[in-house]
Chains A and B, each alone.
Chain A
Amino acid sequence: MVKVVLKGITKTFGDVVAAGDINLEIKDGEFFTFLGPSGCGKTTTMRMIAGLEHPNEGRIFFDEEDVTDLPTYKRNTGMVFQNYALWPHLSVFSNIAYGLKVRKVHKEEIEDRVKKVLNLVNLAGLEGRFPTQLSGGQQQRVALARALVIEPKVLLLDEPLSNLDAKLRIRMREEIKELQERLGITTIYVTHDQEEAMVISDRIAIQNKGIVQQVGSPTEIYNKPESLFVATFIGGGSLLEGIVEEAEPPFCIRVGNNAVRGIVPSPSEAIKKGEKVACVLRPENFLLKEPEAAANKIKGVVEWTAFVGARTEIRIDVGGNRLLVHAPRDVDVLVGKEITVYIPQEDTIILPLEDGNR
């Protein structure tokens, strides 16, 4: 197991930036996820770690060793491809044993290790099958076993669950997480599914247009997004635009008739008095009663309600802006009536506008 360090990694394809000056340290034994919309460069970043692509600039280290110029077959990483890339002409056993044969492992040991890894992924007894005779979940496990059996320094998973149905996806992600914890292997995961990333990862890097926007634990990313992109990409929420009234804690902005106070997770120099900024309000942070902690009080008119089982969703019109609020399931509100909601100041996230939002 190693730590993986990316220093100034840059990769471009023509005009498209797949990786823009990425600097990261992935700790030994960590479950680290690259999360971002499709085309953001997350897969390319992983492929550079695997050695399947070469960066234009920057170096990649496994512990202290510079592996940038090592071809993929000398890096000892185990990669699981999005489409599994199982060799259709080889049986399950041969698919898994392949890496060991390449490493000239003794025949008996190969059999032993393949057996063990098959047990690990709950596929014992399927050695003789061919990939086409397996279900999607089983193929996934073979791909995982094939990557694990060589005891790689780093396990690389490229959207491994995207070809599975919703239920299986949830089961497999739990299995992968358990396995990773048991083996303590440094794991790098790529996905565009934010919920998957939150559930499975120790830390997440949010990538957009090749640039890593923020790195942090799921909680940090969710509660303290440092950019509007991160705030809107992770979790839902309403976006209000306002003018800065106070540019020091407690920050205050004016949205229509309301003064809204909140926190600024990003460097606060970007917030200047009199400038237009945005504030992000998560629907589940709203309260219908005034809390003890300092909170913003917002009045509006109920526009629409929906009972979705675990809760009731309410949309409120606040002077032309719309807020989505998650209320308890038994809340009693009527469309067209006035309503007052509260949101704690520490859950009110103020962020500078970005290009495209300005």
Chain B
Amino acid sequence: MNYGKTWKRIKSELDPMTALQTLISFSILFLFLVAPLGSMVCQAFIYKDQVSLNWFFNIVSDAEFVSVTPRGGRLFEVHRETMYIWGLDHGILLNTLIVAVSVAVLCSVLGVAVAVMMARYNFRGKEVFRVLLLVPLLATPFVNGYVIGKIFKPTGGLVNFLFYDLLQILPWRIDIDGLFGIALAQTLSFYPIVYLNVFASMMNIDPSLEEQAENLGSRSFRLFRTVTMPLSLPGLAAGAIIVFIFSMEDLSAPIGFIGARANPLSRKVVSYQIYSSFAEALAGGISPKTFALAVIMLTVAVIGFTVVKRYVSLRSYAMISRGGRWSPRARVPSLGGQTVIYVLLLLLLAAASMPQIGTLLLATTNWATSGTFPTELTGKYLGTLSTNPDVTRAIINSLTYSGLAVVFMVLVGASIAYVVARRQIPGRSILDVMATVPVAVPGIALAVGFFLFFTAYFRGTALDPLIDPSLLLVFAYSVRRLPFTSRAISAGLQQIDVSLEEASLNIGARRSTTFLKIVLPLIASNIIGGSILSFVYSMSEVSTSSTLGALHEDRMPITFYISQIVYGVAAVGAVSIGAALCVLLMAVQILAMVISNLILKQRVAFLGV
């Protein structure tokens, strides 16, 4: 190996611009991703100043965290004409894993079913369904769990009123709550993630692959089982692992259920435990046991993500052959078939849009206090968005944090995407991985890492969350949503030919001029699209907002404020104010989707591995 030559080659690639881009990207990712997570992992292994597995043993041997025999809870038990569906308490850690696996499985079943209907059948009103199916994606943090909890109340809940009292279809009242309730709320919010990934996979299958199978005599379910489904598996795997990770770190369903029903079983998940430990942080710091818990969650998520990513990259064969006509196959089903499709889709839509519809009702009527049905319309809750100083402050905080985060994300995301796609420097694959990995990092674990790292090493500075969490929130949003920005920008870079840049360099422009004058304008729409998406995700970010955001009242972002309201800190009926804030969030999200679809002609860049 000739080191002189290698160095020379690197030097010729490392012009000032590339060097700067690489340096900034590495620094930000190191300071706000690697170091916090790293110090959290280290702390979890230290007990009485020695390396030890103490905290992990502590968790595993504690029945509160791991208990093979159930310690409580009710699953399909009937008492006095009520069937209790709460789930069984196997300890906080096992509960979390059971819920996450269940949610991933349920979302996969629903997601695949919907994807098949949407990708392989043509029916009247398909376009309308396509839009409506995205409604559950609109985040209504905390209020979603609250609404589901409210609807499934044994007395006064809408479902029991309709199907038990009125129609008398149900033999008992049903009471969905606790872990099962959390899983239900999460499934309804997350299934579109699987659906969209599988749908994209199916649309990318070369039609000739299916035609060939049909030509050989395979049809309907056999065709689906032997060709369509195996080729869509990468999409399914990608969607399912994301749903799994989202479920583990989700705070909104547990807190929503606690707010609506106060069932202690809803508290028995890891995310809630970590959340509540932040309440103690102000008093005396966080226990190393919490670090260990976060490390376990992080490990499970990262391993799952890595396995799936490897699997997906091994199996991306659906796209290989691309010759000939390319119109994905879709058939018009028989009348009976169409009816089945309509019934299934409408049922699903009705169920999955409950949180969004419920949020609207809470915000615009007196439903929060009126019982089964709302009795009067009111504008006073939406009015608080501009009149209540706490509410407006939260809105302004969130807008500021998200706006600043977008600037960082674009800066770092564009740099990483460019360096990875165009420059041959050592370490660029590390950069690539570092820009993807935040997808797999549970936000709640990152929050713990931030707290630990910045209170320990930046005490008393602007980055100390105990003094002011604002800056940390900005960086937390930036890092957590970075993969979306950098992926949107990479997609743009892949579409512009390298020769467009080479032509500029050849004429005498430096790399920086070329980047500013040629590359940026050409990927502007991708940058704007990525920014909009990241902005929206930042506005509705839950995990770090409701943990780090809790450390300073004046600095709280919207989502922390909603969590406080829903959790019941505020007065009765205040949940409607939370719902009003969720309506605002939904409006922002819809606006963003419309802009990226209509103006930028981009499909919403999507969550995938």
Q: A87–B522 contact, CB under 8 A?
A: yes
The answer to whether B502 and A85 touch across the interface, beta carbons within 8 angstroms, is: yes
Is A91 an interface residue, CB under 8 A from the partner?
A: no
CB contacts (< 8 Å) of A69 on chain B: these are 8, 12
Contact between B505 and A150 (Cβ–Cβ < 8 Å)? no
Q: CB within 8 A of B522: which of A79, A88, A102, A150?
A: A88
Mark contacts of A97-119 with chain B using CB atoms, 8 A cut-off: 1 yes-contact digit, 0 otherwise: 01100110000000000000000
Given A87-B518, A87-B522, A89-B521, the answer on whether A79 and B506 have CB atoms closer than 8 Å is: yes
Q: Is the CB of A72 within 8 A of B522?
A: no
Q: A79-B503, A81-B502, A83-B499 are in contact. Are A150 and B518 (CB under 8 A)?
A: no
Among B324-332, B372-380, B507-515, the stretch in contact with A:
B507-515
- Report how far A52 CA is from B498 CA in the complex, Å: 11
Q: Which residues of B contact A71 (CB under 8 A)?
A: 12, 15, 505
Interface residue from A51, A76, A85 paired with B500 (Cβ < 8 Å): A85
Which chain A residue lies CB-closest to B520? A89
Contacts of B517 in A (CB 8 A): 98
Q: Is the interface of A mostly helix, strand, loop or mixed?
A: loop
CB distance from B504 to the nearest CB of A (A): 7
Q: When A72-B502, A83-B497, A87-B522 are in contact, do A102 and B507 touch as well, CB less than 8 Å?
A: yes
Q: Which of A53-102 contact B (CB under 8 A)?
A: 54, 56, 69, 71-79, 81-83, 85-89, 98-99, 102
CB distance from B538 to the nearest CB of A (A): 29
The reply on A42 being an interface residue by CB < 8 A is no
B503 touches A73 (CB 8 A): no
Contact of A73 among B8, B9, B12, B506 (CB under 8 A): B506
Complex alpha-carbon distance, A88 and B206, angstroms: 31
- Name the A residues within 8 Å of B521 (CB-CB): 89
Establish whether residues B503 and A85, one from each chain, have CB atoms under 8 Å apart when the complex forms. Answer: yes
A50 within 8 A of B: yes
Residues of chain B with a CB closer than 8 A to A99's CB? 507-509
A79 contacts across to B, CB distance below 8 A: 502-503, 506
Q: Does A326 contact B (CB under 8 A)?
A: no
Q: A141 at interface (Cβ–Cβ under 8 A)?
A: no
CA gap between A76 and B506 in the complex, in Å: 7
Complex contacts, A78 vs chain B, CB 8 Å: 506-507
Residues of A within 8 A of B522 (CB): 87-89
Q: Is the CB of B507 within 8 A of A146?
A: yes
A54 with B9: in contact, given A73-B509, A83-B499, A88-B522 (CB under 8 Å)? yes
B509 touches A52 (CB 8 A): no
**Contact flags B506-547 to A (C-beta < 8 A → 1, else 0):** 111111010001100110000000000000000000000000
Give CA–CA (A109, B9) in the complex, Å. Answer: 38
Q: Are B12 and A72 in contact (CB under 8 A)?
A: no
A99 to B507, CA, bound (A): 5
B502 and A74: CB pair below 8 A? no
- Residues 153-188 (chain A) with a chain B CB within 8 angstroms: 156
Contacting residues, chain B, for A147 (C-beta < 8 A): 507
Q: Which residues of B contact A86 (CB under 8 A)?
A: 500
Residues on A with C-beta less than 8 A from B513 are 102
Which chain A positions have C-beta within 8 A of B506? 50-52, 72-73, 75, 77-79, 156
Known: A88-B522, A89-B521, A89-B522. A81 touches B503 (CB 8 A): yes
Give the docked Cα–Cα distance between A86 and B496 (Å): 11
Assembled-state Cα–Cα distance A50/B518 (Å)? 19
**Complex Cα distance A93/B303, Å?**
54
Within the complex, what minimum Cβ distance (angstroms) separates B61 from chain A?
Answer: 54
The complex places the Cα of A223 from the Cα of B522 at a distance, in Å, of: 50
| Chain A nearest Cβ from B523, distance in angstroms | 10
- Chain B residues lying within 8 Å of A146, measured Cβ to Cβ, are 503, 507
- Chain B residues whose C-beta falls within 8 Å of the C-beta of A72 in the assembled complex: 502, 505-506
In the docked arrangement, what's the CA distance between A88 and B524, Å?
13
| Min distance, Cβ B103 to any Cβ of chain A, angstroms | 45
In the complex, the answer to whether A87 meets B500 with C-beta atoms within 8 Å is: yes
Residue of B with least CB distance to A96: B507
Docked CA distance A85–B519 (Å): 13
Nearest chain B CB to A76 CB, angstrom units = 7
Task: Report how far A147 CA is from B521 CA in the complex, Å.
Answer: 22
Partner of B505, one of A54, A73, A87, A89: A73
Nearest CB of A to B526, in Å:
13
Residue contact A74 to B12, C-beta cutoff 8 Å: no
Whether the Cβ atoms of A150 and B502 lie closer than 8 Å is no
Please give, as numbers and ranges, the residues of chain B lying within 8 Å of A54 by CB-CB distance.
9, 12
Expressed in whole angstroms, the Cα–Cα distance for A71 and B17 within the complex equals 14
Q: How far is the CB of A19 from chain B (nearest CB, A)?
A: 16
| Complex contacts, B510 vs chain A, CB 8 Å | 73
In the bound complex, residues from chain B placing their C-beta under 8 Å from that of A74 are 508
The residue of chain A having its C-beta at the shortest distance from the C-beta of B518 within the complex is: A87
Given contacts A69-B12, A87-B522, A88-B522, contact A76 B508 (CB under 8 A): yes
Q: In chain B, what residue has the closest Cβ to A150?
A: B507
CB distance from A105 to the nearest CB of B (A): 11
| Least CB distance, B521 to chain A, in whole angstroms | 5
In the complex formed, the residue of A with least CB distance to B517 is: A98
| Complexed CA–CA distance, A147 and B513 (Å) | 18
Against B, the Cβ 8 Å flags (1 = close, 0 = not) of A256-290 are 00000000000000000000000000000000000
Collect the chain B residues with CB atoms within 8 Å of residue A83's CB.
Answer: 497, 499
Q: Report the Cα distance A189→B30, complex, angstroms.
A: 48
Given the contacts A54-B12, A71-B15, A87-B522, A102 and B508 also touching, CB distance less than 8 Å: yes
Min CB gap A217→B, angstroms: 29
Flag B195-207 by CB within 8 Å of A: 1 or 0 each. Answer: 0000000000000
CA distance A54 to B504 in the complex (A): 18
Smallest distance from the beta carbon of B600 to chain A beta carbons, Å?
Answer: 15
Interface string of A131-146 (1 = CB under 8 A from B): 0000000000000001
With both chains docked as a complex, state the minimum distance between the C-beta of A51 and any C-beta of chain B, in angstroms: 8
Cα A87 to Cα B507 with chains together (Å): 13
Whether A98 and B507, one on each chain, are in contact in the complex, defined by CB atoms closer than 8 angstroms, is: yes
By a CB distance below 8 angstroms, the chain A residues around B499 are 81-83, 85
8 pairs, CB–CB < 8 Å, chain A vs chain B: A72-B506, A79-B502, A85-B499, A98-B507, A99-B509, A102-B508, A102-B509, A146-B503
Q: A54-B12, A79-B502, A98-B517 are in contact. List 13 more A-B contacts (CB 8 A).
A: A51-B506, A52-B506, A54-B9, A56-B5, A78-B507, A79-B506, A81-B503, A86-B500, A87-B503, A99-B508, A99-B509, A147-B507, A150-B508
Show the binding face of B for A, using Cβ within 8 Å: 5, 8-9, 12, 15, 497, 499-500, 502-511, 513, 517-518, 521-522
7 nearest A-B pairs in the assembled complex, by CB-CB distance: A99-B507, A85-B499, A85-B503, A102-B509, A81-B499, A79-B506, A72-B505
